[in-house]
Amino acid sequence: MTSHDQSDALNRAARLHLHGLVAHWQDALEGGWALTLLDWEENERARRSLERRLKDARIGRFKPLCDFDWSFPTRCDRQSIEALMRLDFIRDAANAVFIGPNGVGKSTLARNIAHHAVLNGHTALFTSAGQLLGELAAIDSASALRRRLAHYTAPALLVIDEVGYLSYTNRHADLLFELISRRYEAKSTIVTTNRNFADWHEVFPNAACVVSMVDRLVHNAEVIAIEGQSYRLKEATERSELRTEQRRVQRP
């Protein structure tokens, strides 16, 4: 091992705070186990970090992108979605919005992107709009609200699922606006919604911040419209037809 390689290895040990190994570095080198120990420690820390980030992301179960039926939607920009999977938008602190009716795969696509981001070293958090806004609105302490907003501001990628399925008060709108503003041009946000932006006034009736909220959300964002019938209805129909056929075959 060259002196340069030894110096690099020693720096690795120092970054890992392996103070005992650093203190006995020459003995460890001569014993031939210093680099093996460094590899073990780095690999184990990487594994535990990934495990922790996956747990914190709360992505849940989802169909992997390799099983996504791209031919089923009548409209879906596959190239734009595959570009998002390259994760450059996270580096650029840009956003993405999936707009489409219920069941066309918006949440599945968002979960895949979030999962891929975590596997590539980013922090992520997946939540529904109802859960997010319900939790924030229930907090009556200013200091507790600041801490919870900081929690949702922290991840490199925040996915807010199902905006538009419920109607919210002005307080909910203000809280979402505050969160979007905190993340604006600093962190990436993905939103899935079944409503066009022109209809968000129905989601947040009488809220004065809706226009400003949408403006911050879509600035430097990839907006992807998905159209088609429901995957869930399609799969339910296929399961029903399969059961019917199985019962027909099994009849004596």
pLDDT for residue 119 is more than 90: yes
pLDDT mean over 66-86: 94
Q: What are phi and psi of 75, to 5 degrees?
A: -150, 120
pLDDT for residue 250 is more than 80: no
**Residue 8 pLDDT:** 84
**Residue 230 pLDDT:** 84
**Residue 85 pLDDT:** 98
Q: What CATH number should be reported for the domain whose range is 65-233? A: 3.40.50.300
| % of the chain with per-residue pLDDT over 70 | 94
Place of tokens 């905006």: 163
**Residue 247 pLDDT:** 73
pLDDT mean over 63-73: 92
**Residue 244 pLDDT:** 66
**Residue 246 pLDDT:** 74
Four-residue CA torsion sign, 51, 56, 61, 65: negative
**Residue 199 pLDDT:** 95
Of 22 and 231, more confident: 22
**Adjacent-strand bridge partners of 128:** 161
| % of the chain with per-residue pLDDT over 90 | 69
Of 229 and 149, more confident: 149
In single-letter form, the type of residue at position 159 comes to V
Of 243 and 82, more confident: 82
| Secondary structure class of 209 (helix, strand, coil) | coil
Q: For the chain, which residues make up each domain, given as ranges?
A: 3-56, 65-233
pLDDT tens per residue, range 127-142: 999 999 999 999 999 9
Supply the DSSP string of 209-249, one letter for each residue. Answer: THHHHHHHHHTTEEEEE-BSS-HHHHHHHHHHHHHHHHHHH
pLDDT tens per residue, range 206-245: 899 999 999 999 999 999 999 998 876 666 666 766 676 6
Task: Show the tokens assigned to 193.
Answer: 């919604």
Q: What is the dihedral of CA 181, 185, 186, 189, to 10 degrees?
A: 70
**Residue 70 pLDDT:** 92
**Residue 241 pLDDT:** 64
pLDDT mean over 69-82: 93
Mean pLDDT over each residue of the chain, to the nearest integer: 91
The band of 67, judged by pLDDT with boundaries at 50, 70 and 90, is very high
In SS3 terms, 78-119 reads as HHHHHHHCCCHHHHCCCEEEEECCCCCCHHHHHHHHHHHHHH
**Residue 236 pLDDT:** 67
**Residue 235 pLDDT:** 67
Of 13 and 93, more confident: 93
pLDDT for residue 155 is more than 80: yes
Q: Judge whether 209 and 178 are in contact, CB under 8 Å.
A: no
Residue 157 CA to residue 146 CA, distance in Å, equals: 19
Place of tokens 């947040």: 204
